[in-house]
Amino acid sequence: MSRFIIHGGRRIGGVLVPSGNKNAVLPMLAACVLTEEPVTLENVPLIDDVRTMLELLDGIGVEVSVQGHTVRLCAKGLRRSRLDPALCGKVRSSILLAGPLAARLGRATLSPPGGDVIGRRRVDTHFQGLAALGIEVEGGRDFVFRRRRLEGADMVLDEASVTATENVLMASVLAQGRTTIFNAACEPHVGDLALLLNKMGARIRGIGTNRLEVEGVEGLGGAVHKVQPDVIEIGSYMVAAAVTGGELRVTGVEPEPMMIVGRTFQRLGLRMQWAGADTVVQPRQRLKVVKDFGAAIPKIEDGPWPMFPSDLMSVLLVAATQAQGTILFFEKMFESRMYFVDHLISMGAGIVVCDPHRVLVTGPARLHSISMASPDIRAGVALLIAALCAKGESVVHSAQTIDRGYERVEEKLRALGADIVREE
């Protein structure tokens, strides 16, 4: 167990080279089992969830080689279809191996997936989509997937689930005939997975939309692919700079996702500029809530892309505590994500908890230091950001929770001017 000790009051600024996208690389690692040929992924974030996925793959016979941020995987010797139960319990992404394993070997057995406790996280959409392709699912203590046949199908997902879309997509590329997936998730990391699959020989159309068309192929080959930058990490560091008054330049950013995220940031007066492939947060920003027409209290709500991503709700809520005005946050997707605001209230934030999904924030508030625990990845980073702009020494326990999704977070923050150390 480890903890972070933060002395607040210092500006966060400088140049940030973003890590690879966590939510893109995890399904890409699962996709390697679809072929006997090597798959090489570049710009892989060295986070705990990635390490756990690599352990899962190694346990079923995938050859894994890691050199810096490049990972080479070869599933030619794939020999097992049962995943380690203990490792499944550590990460949500373990379920992403169900479709590829069943498509390749005809069978997959895994324990219920773990991950952050932020509310109920359904797996029904995975089961329904895979069943439409001919992969039977048995529930119980373990999930057992058996392939009767693998034939294309037209399906409408009952929710635009990111991981369910990815699971069904990976299985469908080896199905006989055409598959059409309606109500597919269209987040950038889903598109990045589809680009990798096409490099491997898949035939996927409609990338970036909620209607994916797949022409099945007999087999896939190897590929080399660079993982896109992590929008959630970028947004988190941008908020850290904005609430502390620093100037931050983020290099190698894809503009379209940042424009969508930035649209919501602007509702708090958080401004950014584009300079070629870089995005810049301007210094000494005076955050102020932009009211709706008629001076009504505005609302920030999350939803499937291109709506604001749920993974950034926690950090943007911290930004709202430092903005002048009142704004409502409506977390629609997970009923437990807002529980961390109790810590912010203890730090002096002006927050009214309306119900598990909605909180009303009035700022700016002068935050003071406390000792607190990180309940999940995104809330943990939000608490780090709150500590950065608070007066005094704050302690954030359960640092390993944040390590699951952010690479070397204390080193990156120190390089940007933070006074932060890790203690075991």
Q: pLDDT value at position 336?
A: 81
**Tally of residues, the chain:** 424
pTM: predicted TM-score of the whole model, two decimal places? 0.94
pLDDT at position 117:
43
| Spatial strand order in the sheet of 107-110 | 107-110, 143-147, 135-138
**The CATH fold of domain 22-226:** UDP-n-acetylglucosamine1-carboxyvinyl-transferase; Chain (3.65.10)
Cα separation, 379 vs 408, whole angstroms: 17
Q: Are 182 and 210 in contact (CB under 8 A)?
A: yes
Ranges in the chain, pLDDT < 70: 114-121
Which pLDDT belongs to residue 118? 45
CA–CA distance, 117 with 105 (Å, rounded to integer): 31
- The answer to whether 45 and 72 have CB atoms below 8 angstroms apart is no
Catalytic residues, by residue number, are: 116
Sheet holding 278-281, edge to edge: 14-16, 248-250, 278-281, 272-275
Cα-trace Rg, the chain:
22
Domain ranges of the chain: 3-19+229-423, 22-226
Task: Report the SS3 class of residue 293.
Answer: coil
pLDDT of res. 308: 96
Nearest-angstrom CA–CA distance, 411 and 206: 39
pLDDT digits (tens, 9 = 90+) for 127-149: 999 999 999 998 878 899 999 88
Q: On the CB side of 151, how many CA atoms lie within 13 Å of its CA?
A: 5
Q: Are 325 and 288 in contact (CB under 8 A)?
A: yes
At residue 112, the pLDDT reads 85
Is there a contact between 417 and 26 (Cβ–Cβ < 8 Å)? Answer: no
What is 3-19+229-423's CATH number, 3.40.50.970, 3.65.10.10, 3.90.850.10, 3.40.50.1110? 3.65.10.10
The confidence score (pLDDT) of residue 319 equals 98
* Mean of all residue pLDDT scores within the chain: 94
